[in-house]
Amino acid sequence: MFPILEAEFLAPEIKRFVIEAPRVARKRRAGQFVIVRLHERGERIPLTIADGDADRGTITLIVQGVGKTTRLMNMLEAGDAVLDLVGPLGEPSDVRNYGTVVVIGGGVGTAIAWPTAKAMKAAGNRVVAIIGARTKELVLLEPELREIADELEIVTDDGSYGRKGVVIDPLCERIMRGNRIDLVLAIGPVRMMQAVAEMTRPSGIRTIVSLNSLMVDGTGMCGGCRVATKEGTRFACVDGPEFDAHIVDFDVLARRNRTYAANEAEALETFRANPNAALEFVRRSCRLDRCHAEGDLAEVSSS
Amino acid sequence: MSGNTLPPKERMKIPRQAMPEQEADLRRHTFTEVNQGLTVLGATTEALRCLECAKPVCMTGCPVGVKIRDFVELITAGDYLGAASKIREDNVLPAITGRVCPQETQCEGCCILGKKFEPLGVGYLERFVADYEREQGRIGLPEIAPPTGKRVAIIGSGPAGLSAAGDLVRWGHAVTVFEALHEIGGVLLYGIPEFRLPKEIVRHEVNALGQMGVEFQTNVVVGKTVTIDELMTEDGYDAVLVATGAGLPKFMDIPGEHLSGVYSANEFLTRVNLMHANDFPKYDEPVFDCRGQDIAVIGGGNTAMDAVRTAARLGARTSTLIYRRTEAEMPARVEEVRHAKQEGIDLLTLANPVAFLGDDEGRLTAVRCIRMELGAPDDSGRRSPVPIAGSEFELPVAMAVVALGTGANPLVQSSTPDMATNRKGYIAADPETLRTSKRGVFAAGDIVTGGATVILAMAAGRTAAASIRDYLDTGRWDGEPPSPA
């Protein structure tokens, strides 16, 4: 059982959790993720570690409510707990001094890019951050990025904040102008990452993406998260989640991610009919876990 | 000591008791266990058949050396709990091995009765006593030695790790088992389906180990959450056993493998067995909706058999097993193949997939196969399948499961550079002692041998446990290998 110490909404449907997980906090590095299971009938979902505090023994997760499990998680408050949390998983970001690094975050991808952007800055890079959101109130982590980025550009689809457009617009301009770019890190929706990859491909700018494939165990035992690349099949959970954008087949990724669309819609509909019943189940499940730990065991007959 | 007063000739006249089974047309639609277990009368009758050989050769066929004659005698004496604790001296998972061991090639294959009659139902009897104690809410535990003050970390809670834990804790060592998943049991939980091995039984056996003093920690991925070096230097473990299994799925590397609907057996079975996807949406994890669909499973081992029978239970219209050799070469247990056929599984033998075909949405629609014929025997003595040119055909399916075996997961090895591995990534361990190249670290089970059986992993766990005891007692690592206990 992993207690939630802090829980606050950063934007509608986007919540930040500080969770007690001392071992993960001690080990995690930028780019890694955890797998979380909320309750005893829950599914296992991957969530990137946005931040952490080894001394306090906590990690930070930023969760966007898109389906049943994430919406249910976003109903949890400080004082609640999640049943299972395992990590840190995946390979850490390859953090080095590249020169100028352009970090692009689309939507909640900004939260996933944030720890790597911070690590890139600490490694001596000049960091240009470009973050995008549908609208003003969904812009994430602006103060945090302002603190570390040498340049910060904010883009909204509707132009309600920053410039109007999509995150690849400012990247396109920089490439056209011939600005120095040694590495691009792009994290967000599949089609956004694909667009970035196509934009940097002609000039051969090294481009890294963090892939959000479906996962079950997160430790390499099932291959559900497999990614088609020019260099063969890779597992996002152990070989990634970060990959060279120029070798990834994004069409395959987008199609595989739709595998359970009907199931996901059904689960969300059932959940929406009675969200409080689901919340109660999480709370009961975590109490049960405490009982198990204290041991309610059968009679022993030793011979 | 024995309650059996029948003369040997009379014992041989008793027919082997049949395992009561759930009707095939009923069980095809449910995950409840196929084999129902012997009754008290059936078990007592079966036990009376034992000839109580002065030198019980059945024992030599058991990889962990269960004292078969002794526990069978306790059954004839009516002491079922005593029989259970007798088994637990050598085998901490009797309810499991009684169900999943290939007894026909092990204990029962050696039974003297089998030379002229049917062999003694050792597996049925082992299962009977373990089920009896569970139904009674009691556990026949062996004696535990006083604490030694030594601590052992076991990585992986599958059969190898659990059997080593049972021995080590009995000898008074403090044992902690680390598991990456959220539940204890390894392949017993995520791999073998409920209809062959109810999960309640795995939990019961794990509970018994807990009562013996084994500590379990879930959600710990050694190699990521913590390393072996940290376990030994910071957490103070005196020895470590790596029993992580061979869980890395093999794919076929043929076109179309990324289509939606193509699964590894590990993923398909994990979703159903560990995550209860068959009970979606009561449980949150989904799996391919097999209802009314045609599905195929590729392979001929027990995993393939488990996957194809699972798909049938998920409501598939047709379930086909594609195997490149003939039924005679199938590595799966005879009982599993028989059960599968009774449940309406189609066997498509001497065929091998060459491509998966899909629609515009990236969903699987068919498997393209080629016919095979058996050629000359290969290194292993089995006749190798050879493709017949021009014999390609398409089998329309909506889901395909690849069950062609597994390889070594590199997570632990890559974080422990001073522990040697072989060419295929398995851990190099001395075959006698199961010591690795790293002092204080042992390895056992599939991570050493590659994919094998539950009972062989348990046997390796026992061998490793004995070496660990020797190392903890003597502190010797270099020089002469320790003499067997």
> Does the pLDDT of residue A273 top 70, yes or no?
yes
C-alpha span between B334 and A136 (Å, rounded):
65
**Mutate which: B136, B204, B219, vs A, most A CBs within 10 A:** B219
Q: pLDDT tens across B99-142, in order?
A: 999 899 899 999 999 999 999 999 999 999 999 988 988 777 78
User: Can you give the pLDDT at residue A294?
Assistant: 53
CB-based contacts of A55, cutoff 8 Å, min separation 6: none
User: Can you give the pLDDT at residue B139?
Assistant: 76
User: Can you give the pLDDT at residue B484?
Assistant: 39
C-alpha span between B212 and B85 (Å, rounded):
12
C-alpha span between A189 and B265 (Å, rounded):
29
Residue of A nearest to B220 (CA): A86
A178: exposed, middle or buried (C-beta count within 10 Å: 0-12, 13-18, 19+)?
A: exposed
C-alpha span between A154 and B262 (Å, rounded):
40
Q: pLDDT tens across A143-191, in order?
A: 999 999 999 999 999 999 999 999 999 999 999 999 999 999 999 999 9
B249 at interface of A, judged by CB pairs closer than 8 A: yes
- Indicate the average pLDDT of chain A: 92
Work out the end-to-end distance of chain B between its first and last CA atoms, rounded to an integer number of angstroms: 28
Element (H, E) at B296: strand B294-298
B-chain CB neighbours of A295 within 8 Å are 210
B371 at interface of A, judged by CB pairs closer than 8 A: no
User: Can you give the pLDDT at residue B381?
Assistant: 76
* Residue contacts between A and B (CB atoms, under 8 Å): 153
User: Can you give the pLDDT at residue B88?
Assistant: 87
Q: Where are the beta strands (DSSP E) in B180-220?
A: 215-217
Which residue in B220, B219, B236 sits closest to B174, CA to CA?
B236
> Does the pLDDT of residue A295 top 60, yes or no?
no
Q: B434-467 burial, b if ≥16 CB within 10 A, otherwise e? A: bbbebebbbbbbbbbbebbbbbbbbbbbbbbbbb
Q: pLDDT tens across B135-171, in order?
A: 988 777 788 999 999 999 999 999 999 999 999 999 9
User: Can you give the pLDDT at residue A301?
Assistant: 37
Q: pLDDT tens across A189-235, in order?
A: 999 999 999 999 999 999 999 999 999 999 999 999 999 999 999 99
Residue of B nearest to A40 (CA): B283
B217 at interface of A, judged by CB pairs closer than 8 A: no
C-alpha span between B485 and B482 (Å, rounded):
9
Interstrand relation of B174-178 and B215-217 (parallel, antiparallel or unpaired):
parallel
Which residue in A92, A81, A102 sits closest to A5, CA to CA?
A81
Q: What is the mean pLDDT of residues B265-293?
A: 96
Work out the end-to-end distance of chain A between its first and last CA atoms, rounded to an integer number of angstroms: 35
Q: pLDDT tens across B424-482, in order?
A: 899 999 999 999 999 999 999 999 998 888 999 999 999 999 999 999 999 998 755 44
C-alpha span between A230 and A111 (Å, rounded):
28
- Indicate the average pLDDT of chain B: 93
Q: pLDDT tens across A91-128, in order?
A: 999 999 999 999 999 999 999 999 999 999 999 999 99
Range scoring the smallest mean pLDDT among A5-19, A32-46, B61-75, B88-102: B88-102
> Does the pLDDT of residue A293 top 70, yes or no?
no
> Does the pLDDT of residue A297 top 60, yes or no?
no
**Mutate which: A29, A44, A71, A217, vs B, most B CBs within 10 A:** A217
User: Can you give the pLDDT at residue B24?
Assistant: 84
What is the CB-side half-sphere exposure of residue B126 using CA atoms within 13 A?
A: 26
Q: Where are the beta strands (DSSP E) in chain A?
A: 2-11, 14-20, 33-37, 45-53, 58-64, 81-82, 84-89, 100-106, 126-133, 151-156, 163-164, 183-187, 207-210, 226-229, 232-235, 242-244, 299-302
Amino acid at A11: A
User: Can you give the pLDDT at residue B411?
Assistant: 86
User: Can you give the pLDDT at residue B142?
Assistant: 80
A238 at interface of B, judged by CB pairs closer than 8 A: yes
Residue of B nearest to A296 (CA): B207
